[in-house]
Structure 1
Amino acid sequence: MRSLVEARSFQRTVIAVILLNAATIGAETSSVLVGHFGGFLHAVDRIALAVFAVELGLRVYAYRGAFLRDPWNHFDTVIVAVALIPAAGSVSVLRALRILRVLRLLSAVPSMRRVVSALLEAIPGMVSIIGLLVLVMYVSGVLATELFGRIAPGYFAELPVSLFTLFQMMTGDSWSDITRQVMAERPWAWVFFIGYILASTFVVLNLFIAVVVNAMDEQTTSSEEQHTDDQLATMLAELARLHAKIDAMRAAQAVPAGSHGDHPGDRHAPAPASPEPDA
């Protein structure tokens, strides 16, 4: 059973069912498609859910206790369990959560698993960068509220409004329009806004990219080392098998008992003539 669930053809079939189910769920958002193919779409959705449940049951049976030690199995179990909840009455909103089945691609595709694992490993470094970004935005928000609150109350009237405006500017959305409106009253305001954009967008956000890329590189290196270790283990197992075969061949050619340690190649040689007794 473990060989079945780990087979590449089996995994590709599951991925194909996930993609097909994602397409049918998306098609159900169209009233035209539902009007013409509603019964077919619902049938495909039920069949896909049954396939997911059976596949999860097979993995539980194949891995036994080891199934619970893999966090990705917990992820798949939660998604399938949510999909099995009856979507009627007060829990009808859960029907919209069916699209979460598409997230099973994260566990079904190894490359996606590596990406997610790298992002999770990058969280500690990202938390520090988020703290730095919050500090920069808070200081800038207080300054912007004090300096430009009366000039542009729609953008900097109060601290929460200023923080939202600065976040908008950090994303590059209409930052030049906001800056020009303030510069009409404060020509030197460009110094503040350009300094903030350089600090938040070109420095802090690029630190996010650096941390994620570093985590991805470490994850790739770890995967390559694991692959190398697996290849080495396979080679050692093959070498041990060859040694065992050679030992068996030597044992088959060994001298039988009572040959007094003669060389195996000499066991067929004629025995020397014994000397005649003295008169």
Structure 2
Amino acid sequence: MTGLNFGFTSCFVVEMVLKLMALGWGPYLSDNWNRLDCFVILVSIPDLVSSLVPALSNLGFMTIFRVFRVARAFKLINKAKGLRTLFNTLIASSPAIANVGSLLFLLMFMYAVLGMNIFGASDRYDGELHANFDNFGTSLLTLFRVFTADGWQDVMRVGFNCNEQSYQCDMTSPLSVAAGLFFPSFVITVLFIMLNLVIAVIMDNFVGEAQSEGLLK
């Protein structure tokens, strides 16, 4: 492993030196991929030195540099056109996804507060310990469970006054009517609309990146 580490690090250093000789510091660092390569190389050198000098390998902070060995895998992204397109798509989509994520959190916050006020005093269905609206924290976690579509129908039965043995629900009570509006509207708004909005943002940026890379015409 030490020999492989020395070989790969030496190749990376030679590559960076040749690029610096050809381009200079300014043009070299103006490229994002070159900055990533420079970072990977700079954190690889202390790791290489510690592997060659046993006394340094026992130092605690050297473990941090060993962790950054994983970052070398990112160098492959720049070499493979498909991986580079996917990576650039994620970077280009990050601002829009952050905006959608903020809106998603705001919607979940509103529904969590609304759920506390509507279902906070209702009985728990089938012994559910975590799927309830007793406080804001569990309310938010319950909605996150609904967001993942993990048995959200069982969570919805909290508001339907369902019998645990017969599974019969009282659909005429005001609480059942509220649950019939609350949960489907949350699923449609958050699970379908917001999730598809994220997918649309990623696909739009992917098409743009693929065209710039020549993968699409």
- Report the TM-score when normalising by structure 1: 0.58
Letter aligned with residue 157 of structure 1:
D
CA distance 1:182–1:89, shift in 2 (3 Å): farther
**Aligned mates of 2:213, 2:86 — CA distance in 1:** 11
Q: Which runs of 5+ in 2 are unaligned?
A: 48-56, 163-174
CA distance 1:82–1:175, shift in 2 (3 Å): farther
**Residue of structure 2 aligned with 1:57, choices 17, 20, 29:** 17
**Aligned mates of 2:88, 2:75 — CA distance in 1:** 15
- Show the counterpart of 1:149: 120
- Show the counterpart of 2:172: none
The DSSP-based 3-state class of the residue aligned with 1:173 is coil
The DSSP-based 3-state class of the residue aligned with 2:121 is coil
Contact 1:141-1:166 within 8 A present in 2 as well: yes
Letter aligned with residue 198 of structure 1:
I
CA distance 1:164–1:69, shift in 2 (3 Å): same
- Show the counterpart of 2:168: none
Contact 2:81-2:213 within 8 A present in 1 as well: no
Superposition pairs for residues 154-169 of structure 1, below 5 Å? 154=130, 155-169=132-146
**Aligned mates of 1:79, 1:88 — CA distance in 2:** 22
Q: Does 1:213 align with 2:203?
A: yes
Superposition pairs for residues 104-183 of structure 1, below 5 Å? 104-151=75-122, 152=124, 154=130, 155-183=132-160
Map Cα deviations across residues 131-163 of structure 1 (whole Å, 9 max, x no partner): 321221111111112222233473322213222
- Show the counterpart of 2:54: none
CA apart distance, 1:113: 2.2
CA apart distance, 1:178: 2.3
CA distance 1:53–1:175, shift in 2 (3 Å): farther
CA distance 1:144–1:224, shift in 2 (3 Å): same
CA apart distance, 1:80: 2.1
Map Cα deviations across residues 8-45 of structure 1 (whole Å, 9 max, x no partner): xxxxxxxxxxxxxxxxxxxxxxxxxxxxxxxxx34323
Q: Which runs of 5+ in 1 are unaligned?
A: 1-40, 229-279
Contact 2:116-2:133 within 8 A present in 1 as well: yes
Map Cα deviations across residues 105-154 of structure 1 (whole Å, 9 max, x no partner): 22222332222223322333323322321221111111112222233473
Please identify the structure whose Cα radius of gyration is greater. 1
CA apart distance, 1:192: 1.5
Equivalent pairs: percent with the same residue? 26
CA distance 1:45–1:157, shift in 2 (3 Å): farther
Paired residue total: 187
CA apart distance, 1:52: 2.2
**Aligned mates of 1:168, 1:125 — CA distance in 2:** 24
Q: Does 1:222 align with 2:212?
A: yes
**Residue of structure 1 aligned with 2:59, choices 89, 105, 108:** 89
CA apart distance, 1:180: 3.1
**Aligned mates of 2:59, 2:196 — CA distance in 1:** 47
Q: Relative contact order (alpha carbons < 8 A, sep ≥ 6): 1 or 2 greater?
A: 2
**Aligned mates of 1:139, 1:85 — CA distance in 2:** 49
